[in-house]
Amino acid sequence: MYREFYGLKELPFALTPDPRFIYFTPSHTEVMANLHYGIESGKGLIVVAGEVGTGKTTILRWMMQRLDRTVLVAYVFNPRLTVPEFYQHITTLFDVKEWETKSELLIALGKTLESRHSRGLRTVLIIDEAQGLTPYVLEEIRLLSNFESDTAKQLQIILTGQPELRDVLNNPDLRQLKQRVALRCEIKALPNVEETERYISSRLLVAGAERTDIFSPGAIDYIYRCSEGIPRQINNLCDNSLLTGFAAGEETIGRSIIEEVADTFDMLPRGDRGSQMNEEREAPARIFTAAGRAELWAAGTEASAHLQTEGASPLAMREESNKGTTPEVDEVGAAFRRSGLMGER
């Protein structure tokens, strides 16, 4: 394997969500700050969305390893559970015993939660891949979110999932659950080449690399374009490029190796697919010309408002509009940066 050839102690770009390798991009930091704030301030239901492979599971694992002993967590990562399996699972994780019927279960669980809450202990239910939960289990989650004292939630629930989670929560039958969401945030892909370079260097260093220039600047630029900044895609490209580079005896991975690997894995940048490699990518397609957009804007139509925010995802837009309402989140984010928690491993 390529490990020794590149002076690495372990494989730097495995596809597993290993929290030892975490690199805190601004988005990952913000989401972690949100989770910290949400748990600390006893928010009932927290939703974290993010595209496939952006690091949701990694961030949850990083957090779970660092939670204080006073926080008890039940982590559910298989959303395809039936309702009985779901309850079986969480009662085992919360150590709730002696129940046979559902009403006995809810009473026993309620007692455990109340007892923990009265002792100042927190209890958190984390559900990963929540976009795959059935409406039946989601309805049970709504029931669980009712465990509360006069002043605070006794069970905090974190749902993480792919962007489809939003559609799931928008189901009219689940509007009661949606109304209970106290905090929402989104994990975004790495925003640019510079962050991609830092991400790659960070993973190389954790893997024991003595040099972080294994990938040439041109290679990193192309990795960013092919991966669209999605960490799992970056890992895939880097791992396979190291293998190809090793086979070819190349100490430095250049752009041509990335092109070769990206072609094999069908990961060429959208603009390059079906065209010549090395060709410059066209600017993203637009519907109106610049002059046309200006005209619409001047006319003050609703369409112009959309065009001004083009490129922003609905989630990002909502987050933007929520910014003013959760100043504490920014404060926690700043505190994270100051405390050096960022990138701690």
Contacting positions for ligand ATP (CB under 6 A): 15-18, 21-23, 25, 28, 50, 52-58, 129, 162, 231-232, 235
- Contact flags string 234-273 toward Mg ion, x per CB under 5 A: ----------------------------------------
Q: If we measure between CA atoms, which residue out of 5, 12, 6, 29 comes closest to residue 206? A: 12
Least Å distance, CB 185 to ligand ATP, is 13
CA atoms within 13 A on the CB side of 295: 5
Q: Tell me the CA distances in angstroms from 215 to 210, 246, 258, one per residue in order.
A: 13, 13, 10
CB of 245 to Mg ion, least distance (A): 29
Residue 309 binding result from Mg ion, ligand ATP, none, given CB thresholds of 5 to 8 Å by partner type? none
Residue from 25, 29, 57, 154 binding Mg ion (CB under 5 A): 57
22 binds, among ligand ATP, Mg ion, none (CB under 5 to 8 A by kind): ligand ATP
Residues in Cβ contact with 129 at an 8 Å cutoff, skipping those fewer than 6 apart? 77, 78, 79, 160, 161, 162
CB of 99 to ligand ATP, least distance (A): 32
Residue carrying the six token digits 């490209």: 237
Among Mg ion, ligand ATP, none, what binds residue 55 when CB lies within 5 to 8 Å by partner kind? ligand ATP
Report in angstroms how near the CB of residue 49 gets to Mg ion at its nearest.
Answer: 12
- Residues 119 and 96: their CA atoms lie apart, in Å, by 17
Nearer to ligand ATP, 145 or 240 (CB): 240
Among ligand ATP, Mg ion, none, what binds residue 231 when CB lies within 5 to 8 Å by partner kind? Answer: ligand ATP
Binds 333: which of ligand ATP, Mg ion, none (CB < 5-8 Å by kind): none
Measured in degrees and rounded to the nearest 5, phi and psi for residue 307 equal: -65, -35
CA distances to 62, 89, 258 from 342, rounded to whole Å, are 11, 32, 29
DSSP state of 54: S
Stretch that binds Mg ion, among 51-59, 208-216, 238-246, 254-262 (CB under 5 A): 51-59
- Planar angle of CA 308, 311, 317, nearest 5 degrees: 75
Burial of 99 (0-12, 13-18, 19+ CB in 10 A): middle
* Residue ranges in contact with Mg ion by CB under 5 A: 56-57
